[in-house]
Amino acid sequence: MRPAAVTKQKKPARSPKSDVSVNTDSKLSNQFERRCSIASTVGILSDAWAFLVIREAFFGAKRFEEYRSGLEISRATLTDRLRRLTQEQILRQVSYSDTSSRVEYKLTKSGIDLYPAFMALMQFGDRWLDPTQGPLQLIHEDCNCVSKPVVACSCCQKKISARDVTYLEGPGAGVVRGEAVTRRTRRTADDFMRGRPSSVSRALEVIGDRWSFLIIREALFGAARFDQFQNELKIASNILTDRLARLVERGVFRKRKYQSAPERFEYLLTAMGADLHGPLMMMMAWGDRWRANGEPPMLLRHAACGQIFTPTVICDRCGKPIHAYTMKYRMRYDPDKFGGRKSSRAVPGRV
């Protein structure tokens, strides 16, 4: 799926000169990368502990000890992630009472708006990574049916496949300075799998970190060769080699030789890899709404109806948009092992 001719809605920010060199270490503060709303969401969800705290909030956790009991997380780590998510305006602090200094941490409107992205990741995990039926059974209250949400076009309400979408420049198109990357302890595959069984966790375990997200994004935009990924992302060659190898091992890419002397390969999305278009589009929709200041860097055109659209998650039974307030779930595991049942709704109460 390669981008079609670019439709300019507004003059984009000037690109960096072509002689900007590729950094060979992990510090990217002097490099430029494509402005994209996916990266805003990835910055939140690619941190395993931040993701797990948000997940527990969707299961009804509000108080410090509820998050701790569900995740078996240290006090220092939990305090740090709650602080960060409050600064990101994903969570908000609410006092227990007028006379108490203690606070609860509840999802804000932007936090609740991550729910469709979680649903898209959950369906990906159920389809490709869970040999059983999945840890949860979803019930859509609007139609009172068991639901398997799908990513659809906001204009024609039809399910979207990766081949159906053309990416165009939006009013916020351009480049931004790359995020400075500091050395971190290598994360293990189990980090996302702490606490309760979760298909969203399985999906993020496969996708991995920020770089893996962005490599998959570029593949959906049409990149296939090593130098294409490197030129667009300004990623160090050793990091790119490592992430591509992991994504091949996990079934997201397949390698195909296109040159023998010297031997070179291109990296093509598998059927499983292409199916990540839904979660990434929902992440982009969230970033466009909450981080783009009304100027989305990219627009999506649906081939089936020809319209510029916003991706949405709909019920596969009634076709209505999925909202956190209209979804209930049944657990296919014992919730008492993970802090107990707090609610059968995705978001108890309203913001």
CATH code for the domain of 239: 1.10.10.10
Model confidence at 273: pLDDT above 80: yes
Separation CA 189–CA 206 (nearest Å) = 8
Residue-wise pLDDT for 214-262, tens only, equals 999 999 999 999 999 999 998 999 999 999 999 999 999 999 999 998 9
How many Cα neighbours within 13 Å face the side chain of 127? 17
User: Is 304 among the domain residues?
Assistant: yes
DSSP letters along 49-82, please? HHHHHHHHHHTT--SHHHHHHHHT--HHHHHHHH
What integer is the mean pLDDT of 60-79? Answer: 92
Residues of the domain holding 125: 115-176+190-338
User: Is 63 among the domain residues?
Assistant: no
Separation CA 172–CA 8 (nearest Å) = 10
pLDDT reported for residue 189: 53
pLDDT reported for residue 32: 77
Of all residues in the chain, what percent carry a pLDDT higher than 70?
84
User: Is 295 among the domain residues?
Assistant: yes
Q: How confident is the model at residue 341 (pLDDT cuts 50, 70, 90)?
A: low
User: Is 258 among the domain residues?
Assistant: yes
Return all residues near 208 (Cβ < 8 A) that are at least 6 apart: 46, 243, 246, 247
Model confidence at 133: pLDDT above 60: yes
Cα distances (Å, whole numbers) of residue 342 to 24, 102, 147, 199, 335: 48, 20, 21, 19, 9
User: Is 97 among the domain residues?
Assistant: no
Model confidence at 18: pLDDT above 60: no
How many Cα neighbours within 13 Å face the side chain of 190? 3
What integer is the mean pLDDT of 145-158? Answer: 96
Residue-wise pLDDT for 88-124, tens only, equals 999 999 998 778 789 999 999 999 999 999 999 999 9
Whether 57 and 71 have beta carbons less than 8 Å apart is answered as no
Q: Which of 84, 59, 36 is nearest to 287 (CA)?
A: 36
Output the six-digit token pair for 290.
Answer: 């909450």
Q: How confident is the model at residue 335 (pLDDT cuts 50, 70, 90)?
A: confident
User: Is 25 among the domain residues?
Assistant: no
Structurally, the chain folds into a number of domains equal to 1
Model confidence at 351: pLDDT above 90: no
Residue-wise pLDDT for 162-176, tens only, equals 999 999 999 999 988
Output the six-digit token pair for 140.
Answer: 């859509």
User: Is 325 among the domain residues?
Assistant: yes
User: Is 292 among the domain residues?
Assistant: yes
pLDDT reported for residue 286: 97
